[in-house]
Structure 1
Amino acid sequence: MLFADAAARIEASARELWPGRTVRLGARIPSVTCYVQNIDVDGRGLVAKVSYLGVSIVSLLRGARGDWPAVRAAQADYVTAPGALVGREAAQLRLMEKVPGLAVCPVAGARNGVLFTGRVLGPTLTDLLIAAPEHSAELLGRVTRSLQPLRFPALPRGAAVPQTPERGIRAVFVRKMRGAAGQLYLRRLGEERIRDGQEREQVRLLLVASVERLMRHRALSQPRCPALIHGDLKPEHLLFPEGADGAPVFLDPGLQYGGECADIAKLLSRTLLHLLATPYPPEAAERALAGIDVFVRAQARTPARAAGAQDLWLRRLVIMWLMDTVNITSSYLSAPAALPLPAPAPDLVGRALALAALVDRGSALLDADRTPMPRLWPRFLDAVRVLVRGETGAAR
């Protein structure tokens, strides 16, 4: 019912925005957050997005906001509210378009809680990393450099920045995992996604222990001097229309004020998940990880950071990397079996135990001792390397 309703909303909104034009709905794009679908308007390819009550599709299908009649009734008020999610995203994209040197997907229109953006063609960051893993440090560095105008924005004077703070890594982690509700959520993980009961219990135990450790470090994930960040920096939100030598185009922002390493943490967390789900020769994966190491060390050693600041930056990076991995893995594992999952989720569900073991080992390193983080970083990367060796390419 939800999917049929969303498709109907998209078609009706498109016909209101472009009366008399030929409107054809295309393929649905799997997502665990919003309903997303390709649409063609007089030969122009667009992407349409609908958010129900600002919560994920997984939560809605699990009954977090009541039954379907209750959701539909509440949605009628939500789409006209000034803080509706797709309205904020439209405003963010329009604001980002004004930042010199920053390329974003264009807003084609917004109506009745539906956002229409131009379809951007070209390889994603994941595609480029798969094709040339030896260039991973260079590609990741180009992404962060492209975002510098956002961190120090040349925005119109007095411009208001519509933010999406509820989608920050720490905010999502604390909201999902805190208290008795969080414990119940963790106990139910994998009920419809992991068939083997023993494996399901192992995944839960590892994640429960990891969440407890990461909760102790949650205050450290907040920066002292927040800057404006993309907020939802994933490989699939970075397209390169001009190929490997061109500039990235940014999709689906979640603008918020936070530490720049929050963007980097999500980018690296999701990049690793894509690498794990790709038929990738182990030696190519090793080259990609070597590039990630070079990139992270370069970011940690920027001239503005003294030795103590480097330690804190690296610690925040690892904390948020692990938090984000828990956030998205738990979303995949808690999704109803009838919900089509986006890439790389179907492959990652089968690797849930290996991912839970990585998070367990990484969070234990944070708790282990007072060893400076620049010395713990190689040990964390070794844990990542063990996971990659066991789960990529021929080793599968």
Structure 2
Amino acid sequence: MTLTTSEYTAAANPARLQNVTRRAISRAVKDLWPNKRVVLGTPCPSVTSYVCRITVDGETLIAKYSWLGMSLVSVLRGAGGTWKDVRQAQEVYLRSTDLVTAREARNLELLRELGRPRVCETVALHQGVLLTRPVPGRVLADELTARPWETGDLLDAALAALGDLHGPAGARLLGGARPIDERSVAGVFRRKFNGLSAGTYLRALGQDSGLPEFAREDVVELMQHTVWRLLRMGGAISPGRKVAVYGDLKPEHVYVDGPRLHFIDPAVQWAGGPHPDIAKLIGRSLLLAIGHPDREAGQQMVRGIASTLNRQVSAVPAHECAGWLREVLVLWVMDTVNILSTCLSAPRMLPLSPHQQALVSQAQTVAGIVHRVSGLLTGTMAGPRLLDVVFSEVERTTGRKW
């Protein structure tokens, strides 16, 4: 494909990015297996890396490709410069030892040595393309929405499967891990909102989302206040490298196969405790509940989410409870702000998953929730009482009685 001067000097667009990425994946796979028949399937909706299914002589594999270690939304919004800048930088990036896909491949290897959680099998890493085998079962996000009365049990099982990773065995084994810190909740938040361009970024939220202008303006105002509050709460997050965490624990990355769970897309990193995993799983599950089309099912999901979080809190020593819960809640709000702002920034032609589309349609409600909860976190309330009030605010903002 020959690009004109204007195309070189503009940021990437979704169609151009997809075409170049699919050629890169095809080249890598054919270089690995020159005599096999390779067919690329349709892309899986993603706002981070490019992911698609492929078949190699009839065997289905999952291919992942990362641009500069950034989210696709960031690249498409010009964070990596012009399309010419991105292409040139990508050539250097693919030769570096800092490839996200290379680090993920290494961490999958270590997680398989640990044995629990069960993770997908790596087939190859070549020319920046990570190839893995699909895992059995149904994605947890779909299980939660289909079986809302089992929400608490399903979330408990997902967290229990990380027991070895969060414990001494995980810390010992993953001493040789290559952290993917740019996927951390706090890291993403700081990168998005600590710079001078944060105000411009926030004011532009939702411009291509299809939201009515009055709704978009409301979301922007609520998010601005929330971000300002969260920037003052950095001290709530534990420093240090005490615990290895999965790092990108959301319901779309856990598969349920009867009593067995399988995990995909790790972003292993070190943290002061298991808080990031708990916060992301709880927060993303709440977004599914808020967007559930069935009111009663949404109520059941939120009750299950609250029960799981209460059980996690009850296992914490009493003298640590207040700080533990505050950290989880701060990370929960940060992660919700991260994903909401990313989805609202996505160019119109970039496909979003059904769950992400539902999040955009519920943007006012979600922005209201994070605004109310961040306000609570600036106060002195702590412990179980704080948790009760947080879920009361969820009820108040959504107009649903959970």
Q: TM-score range by the shorter chain?
A: over 0.9
The TM-score, its normalising length taken from structure 2, stands at 0.91
* Whole-angstrom CA distance in 2 between matches of 1:147 and 1:322: 22
| 8 Å CA contact retained: 1:177, 1:211 | yes
Match of 1:66 in 2: 81
Name the amino acid aligned to 2:307.
V
Distance in 1 separating the partners of 2:241 and 2:80: 35
Measure, in 1, the Cα distance between the counterparts of 2:329 and 2:22: 39
Offset, 1:387: 4.7
State the shift of 1:282 in Å: 1.9
Displacement, 1:73? 1.3
Q: Secondary structure at the match of 1:383?
A: helix
Greater CA drift, 140-149 or 47-56 = 140-149
Question: Who is 2:359 aligned against?
Answer: 348
The alignment status of 1:176 with 2:187, answered yes or no, reads no
Tell whether 2:289 aligns with 1:275.
yes
Q: Structure 1: which 4+ aligned runs deviate by more than 6 Å?
A: 155-158
Which residue matches 1:192?
A: 208
**CA distance in 2 between partners of 1:159 and 1:221 (Å):** 21
SS of residue paired to 1:101: coil
Report the AA paired with residue 266 of structure 1: K
TM-score, reference length from structure 1: 0.93
Cα distance in 2 between the residues matched to 1:256 and 1:381: 29
Please report how far the alpha carbon of residue 180 of structure 1 lies from its aligned counterpart in structure 2 after TM superposition.
2.4
8 A Cα contact 1:282 1:389, kept in partner: no
Q: Look up the equivalent residue of 1:254 and give its one-letter code.
A: A
Question: Corresponding residue for 1:162?
Answer: 178
The Cα of 1:388 is off from its aligned counterpart by: 5.1
List gaps (5 residues or longer) in structure 1: none
Which residue pairs with 2:3 in the alignment?
none
Q: Which moved more, 1:376-385 or 1:259-268?
A: 376-385
SS at match of 2:135: coil
Which one is further off, 21-30 or 370-379? 370-379
2:119 — aligned with what? 104
Q: CA–CA distance in 1 between the matches of 2:153 and 2:206?
A: 37
- In 1, the alpha carbon distance for the partners of 2:116 and 2:222 equals 43
Q: Is the 2:25–2:129 Cα contact (8 Å) retained in structure 1?
A: yes
Structure 2 vs 1, CA of residues 378 and 224 (structure 1 numbering), >3 Å: closer, same or farther?
Answer: farther
Determine the structure 2 residue equivalent to 1:235.
251
Match 1:255 to one of 232, 246, 268:
268
SS at match of 2:244: strand
Secondary structure in 2 aligned to 1:184?
Answer: helix
Q: Is the 8 A contact 1:276 1:391 kept in 2?
A: no
Q: Distance in 1 between matches of 2:345 and 2:153?
A: 36
More displaced 10-residue stretch of structure 1: 229-238 or 179-188: 179-188
CA distance in 2, matches of 1:291, 1:198: 34
- Cα pair distance change 1:349/1:14, threshold 3 Å: same
Percent identity among equivalent residues? 37
Q: Which residue of 2 aligns with 1:334?
A: 345
Contact 1:286/1:385, CA 8 A, preserved across alignment: no
Q: Retained in 2: the 8 A contact 1:96–1:102?
A: yes
Secondary structure at the aligned position of 1:98 is classed as helix
Which residue of structure 2 lines up, in the alignment, with residue 284 of structure 1? 297
> Structure 2 counterpart of 1:275, which letter?
A
Structure 1 CA distance for aligned equivalents of residues 238 and 173 of structure 2: 27
Give yes or no for the alignment of 1:206 onto 2:222: yes
State yes or no: 1:15 paired with 2:25.
Answer: no
Residue 250 of structure 1, CA deviation: 0.7
- Is the 1:32–1:57 Cα contact (8 Å) retained in structure 2? yes
CA distance in 2, matches of 1:381, 1:298: 15
